[in-house]
Amino acid sequence: GGGGTFGVVTHVSYKLHPVSQIVQVNWFLGGIEWAAANGRLEDISSFVTLWLRYWIEVCPTLDSRWSGFFNPTGGFLVFAGSEQDAKTTFVDAFDAWYETALNKSQWVAGVYGALPPSATIETFPSWHAHKGGSDVAGVPAATDATGDAYTGVSYSINARLWPQDVIENRPDEVHALLLELALGSKIGPVNYFLGGKIQDVAPDATAMHPAVRKAIWMVTTNDEESADKVREFIPNDVTGVCYNHHSVVEPDWRNACWGTNYARLEELKARFDPDHIFNAWHLVGYVGEESPPVAGASDPSCPAVSHDAEVAVTLAGVTKAEFETPSMTQGFKDSVAEVIDDVEAADVEIVSVAETSTRRRLLDTSTEVVFRVKDLASAEVAEQMEATLRAKQSELVAALQSNGFTSLTNITVPCSASCGTDAKVCPDGSGVGRDACNNCEFRECPSGSGGAVLSASRAFAAGLAVAVASLGWMAM
């Protein structure tokens, strides 16, 4: 969830609703990295072009019970109602589009492609069950600490609200801009599908920007140049930002964050906090220098900066329930300590645990574990530890298997380096991107070294493969 805004909550009233079944449709193009390395870059580009066009056309028409997120390779959508209603209101039409619009001639079963949307349906008896039920209640490791998901990108992430009438009335322009963002891998992996019941609330009924009530998307970009293109397309007199994910250097931030509600909020600020006890950058009534704060500055009131090594490991053949048993969790920590010198099991902190089959479609059950080795001496030590973990994957597998993970078949430790999104074409016509595990050098061509820089459209597909690979959305 997002951070605070401008006050302290002293009282909360909840309105209860009847329990509703939840239907999940987790539909993405899988195997993109394989496809990029095997001569299918144009096919990836074609898929993204068609999918974004379809999503622009269909999403404004959906029943208000639909929600979720999307990106250039698909969508994670949730319906509050029965499976039959989910099919009637969207999935049947989605299947029909899948069958008729997509060219599947270059897809390889189990390696590259996408299932029909209806084949990805998963149902839950309630929203509580969909979010993990009693297994995650009161379990800190089951959720991310505020801000952890954006470590390292807090100064580059931007989020803007896209009004529904813009999507409906300017679809060609919307499509062109989304493709341009995707072309440079500048669009975020999680872009909210909004609308629905939030549009039933009056624009001035709450503190939120009035644009929220008319928005159908929250789209994130990852650099200021891309953010400026979106701001120019839908400026502050048309919309605003999503406060939880907006840029730390957002221009005209008072208007972008709060819109016409800001003046009323400032009056309340003056009434209840005239001495600015609650005063911080981008909060209502902020008083101070108009520049973002710098973490770890020399201000003596700032705490000393510690460094952590945070690594994501995918455990193939291991379920989330298996991992979260106390003995297995401890076995994981012990295994990391065995593989890394000068690290004790007590230094290993589990950040999050997620069964990948509930977040994206995989052929086999896998569990993604994000863990942190805490309080290291420097950023350089943290980087070296992450590199060591990647280099010792086989040792980690052996240690895990000896510490109770008998069902483990393989592990994946993705590299965290941020490489360029260009690519080169190999002598055999296939394409390769840059390797985040090898100083961002180009990967080897199937037939050896060599190759030329890809054309723009082909580089887009390879760049997309690199971006998606960093998120683990490679398997079907």
Residue type at 144?
D
Q: Which residues of the chain have pLDDT under 50?
A: 1, 147-154, 294-304, 357-363, 417-421, 447-460, 462-463, 466-476
Chain centroid to Cα 293, Å, comes to 25
Q: Say how far apart CA 135 and CA 139 lie, in whole Å.
A: 8
Sign of the Cα pseudo-torsion (432, 434, 438, 439, in order): positive
Q: How far is CA 434 from CA 226, 242, 312, 419, in A?
A: 22, 32, 20, 7
Report the pLDDT value the prediction gives residue 228, as an integer from 0 to 100: 93
DSSP annotation of 347 reads: G
CA quadruple 394, 398, 404, 405: dihedral sign: positive
- What are 69-103's pLDDT values in tens digits? 999 999 999 999 999 999 999 999 999 999 999 99
Terminal Cα distance for the chain, rounded: 29
pLDDT of residue 406: 85
Amino acid, single-letter form, for residue 323: F
Q: Give the per-residue pLDDT at 458.
A: 44
pLDDT score, position 428: 56
Q: What are phi and psi of 300, to 5 degrees?
A: -65, -20
**Cα(57)–Cα(171) distance, integer angstroms:** 7
Q: Give the C-alpha separation, 15 to 7, whole Å.
A: 22
CA atoms within 13 A on the CB side of 85: 15
**CA-CA distance, 243 to 215, in Å (whole number)?**
13
Do the beta carbons of residue 289 and residue 341 sit within 8 Å? Answer: no
Which pLDDT score is estimated for 297? 42
Write out pLDDT tens, residues 119-162.
Answer: 999 999 999 898 888 877 777 666 655 544 444 444 578 999 99
**Helix-helix angle 171-183:456-469, to 10 degrees:** 70
CA 178, distance to chain mean position in Å, is 17
Over the range 181-206, which residues count as b (16 or more CB within 10 Å of their CB) and which as e?
bbbbbbbbbbbbbbbeeeeeeebeee
Report helix, strand and coil shares of the chain as percent, to nearest 5: 40, 20, 40
**Whole-angstrom Cα distance, residue 169 to residue 344?**
59
Q: How far apart are CA 48 and CA 75, in angstroms?
A: 12
pLDDT of amino acid 369: 86
Map 445-461 to HEC letters.
ECCECCCEECCHHHHHH
According to the model, what pLDDT value does residue 379 have?
66
